[in-house]
Amino acid sequence: MQPGAHGLLATEPQQGQESCPGTPQRLRRPRGLPVTKQFSLSTSRVPALPAAAGAGREAPRSGPWAPPGPRSRSRSRPRSRPAPPAVPAAPPPTHGRGGAGRGGARFRSAPPPPPPPAAAAAAPLLAGAGAAHVGAGAGRPGPGHHPVSRIMRPDDANVAGNVHGGTVLKMIEEAGAIISTRHCNSGTGEPCVAALARVERTDFLSPMCIGEVANVSAEITYTSKRSVEVQVNVMSENILTGAKKVTNKATLWYVPLSLKNVNKVVEVPPIQYARKEQEDEGRKRYEEQKLDRLETKQRNGDVIMPVINPDRQTKEPHTVGYSQSSLIHLVGPSDCTLLGFVHGGVTMKLMDEVAGIVAARHCKTNIVTASVDAINFHEKIKKGSVITISGRMTFTSNKSMEIEVFVDADPFVDEPQERYRAVSAFFTYVSLSKEGKPLPVPQLLTETEDEKRRFEEGKGRYLQTKAKRQAQMQQAAQH
């Protein structure tokens, strides 16, 4: 090994040693000669062909170097040595890059790998993706399974660092909307967008904090002729320690609305069930939610007068009027779907904010969302509408409080009409100390007959939920 011009080194393979294919060699060149990159296609089965691939090209008129062959790394021969005869090109390898090389040889490339999940996730929302399957039998994320991950930022949490329940609900709805819209467009019907119709009771099993990663996975578990049931699980991950825990489990119902006519509900492609029992259980859940929606519509006659800046000094603490709160929001384009109607997740986030304000005013402590009873979306909210979200305390136990939240819409921009009830739900909150331990909740003071009636109804819902939870714990202990 000797230094050459400009510090380049010329290396020669030792006797009995083959040059390593794919590793470039540094060659010595005379002063003033342009640098040329040379490669080799030689393998253990195909001998090196110094100038075979360069046949047909004119040799240089001066200089001691032969013309570089395509991808040839073998050392060039001086001009004084006679050029070797043209050798027929060896069969190209079946591996490597496709297309024509510099010498005209074309490689047969292997079949392209499947696109990465990120590319599939970036596909248009309305792209057809095939029929959905229940369970993990498909072997790949498809229309029947959709994961979403996001790190929790400071603007997602309260002053204590706990992530808002509304932030989690919005992520849950986004995952459900994506998977249901993909499935509804997997058939041969007209293009549509899935709209949220109902959210079943959702329990917040564990709090989520700033800096943790929320992993949301959604799966279609049942389809009727015109609705889709989506099961969503949320798991938080501490990226410093790797610890994971389940924070939420939710069930959502969507209906597909046509892109051509927003008032038309299109048919849903059926899914394939692993067992007949899964279809029967899904049909039972479908009938139960239909009955509950009818009962909820009967309570929509209740009216909560918006309270923007009440005189709380004249009201006694721990009463309904003292903590009652309202929020007015103008629906903008960023709040809406492709059809121009508000995302269900946006509405739920605003509802959680109002319910949190009511709970904080009642307790004067740090509060977190414990659960959300079924949320029913009665009417669509159009872009440009002004919505009023109002919340009031209905019931308190020793360690929890129930807040009823209504959403009323005024669509006065394009099609003026009377205010209507769009959404209603019950939120349950708990009071926490600075150390994150539960605190006693001040008892609600009822003053009117309506407040006493709502208190007793809330107590019935509380006892029913408590009994159901105890039954589930006993069943889990037996298994």
What is the C-alpha separation between 133 and 115, in angstroms, rounded? 21
Q: Considering 158, 233, 292, 410, which one is annotated as catalytic? A: 158
Angle at 171 between CA 216 and CA 180, to 5 degrees: 80
In terms of phi and psi (left: phi > 0; alpha: psi -120 to 50; beta: otherwise), the region of 234 is beta
Judge whether 248 and 174 are in contact, CB under 8 Å.
no
Token pair, residue 12, equals 């020669």
Judge whether 66 and 83 are in contact, CB under 8 Å.
yes
- Respond yes or no: is residue 215 known to be catalytic: no
Max alpha carbon distance in the chain (Å)? 113
- Respond yes or no: is residue 263 known to be catalytic: no
What is the C-alpha separation between 87 and 74, in angstroms, rounded? 15
Q: Which residue is associated with the tokens 């509950």?
A: 292
Q: Considering 156, 335, 352, 408, which one is annotated as catalytic? A: 352
DSSP character string of 354-408: HHHHHHHHHH-SEEEEEEE--EEE-S--BTT-EEEEEEEEEEE-SS-EEEEEEEE
- The DSSP output letter for 160 is T
Q: Which of 297, 310, 401, 392 is nearest to 351 (CA)?
A: 392
| Catalytic annotation, residues | 158, 352
